Chain A
């Protein structure tokens, strides 16, 4: 039972345009959500997070939106740059739970 789903295995976006990566979850206990970025042959790195008391969190070119009623979150990258080409993982947890549940990842390719 996949509690965190990333339904798009891959996405290609032109440099300078907006990249939108999507993530859905089924567990209503989840109230903290994170995005990780992973380059080949490296470990995932933490990118941005959001708690359920917010519906938006912004950090530079990266913005995460949370729609609790739809159990959906998205990561917007604008403008997209070649260095953004990577695999992006969505993750979720419940308050007080030290474990994360990860999605299967979306490979983002930025086309110069």
Chain B
């Protein structure tokens, strides 16, 4: 089991409120990712990090920001939540394979967010 935890596991919030989701790893991996999973869309990358204070946007980054002040923690913030951000959010960490240059990702248990 990759040591990845996410908090909270479930959250209900109102439109317009800020929300922060936390991902914590015990593996000391360099790369961390935030995805959202929606029916018919699979897993879509929101933001990822390639080191402390180093982050970049994914394909669905609008309305989201991230921060990584320590190797083990990667935070996802919805500055002003909207109903379209109701989703299941997964954090992942990554390491390269033995061959090097290829990366396998390991996922946390997910956070179910409902914006009413």
Contact = CB atoms under 8 A, between A and B. Distances in A.
Interface of A: 6, 32, 34, 36, 41-46, 49, 51, 89, 91, 93, 95-100, 102-105
B105 A51 contact: no
Contact of A95 (B41, B92, B102, B108): B102
A91 B50 CA distance: 20
A105 B42 contact: yes
Given A41-B110, A49-B104, A104-B42, A98 B50 contact: yes
Interface of B: 4, 31, 33, 40-45, 48, 50, 58, 90, 92, 94, 97, 99, 101-110
Contacts of A105: 42
A79 to B, nearest CB: 26
B104 A44 contact: no
B42 A103 contact: yes
A104 B41 contact: yes
Contacts of B40: 104
Given A44-B90, A98-B50, A99-B48, A51 B43 contact: no
18 contacts: A34-B104, A36-B107, A42-B109, A43-B109, A44-B43, A46-B104, A51-B102, A91-B105, A93-B102, A93-B103, A96-B101, A98-B50, A98-B103, A100-B45, A102-B43, A104-B41, A104-B42, A105-B42
A78 B41 CA distance: 28
B22 to A, nearest CB: 15
B100 to A, nearest CB: 9
Contact of A44 (B31, B44, B48, B107): B107
Contacts of A34: 104
A32 B102 contact: yes
Contacts of B45: 99-100
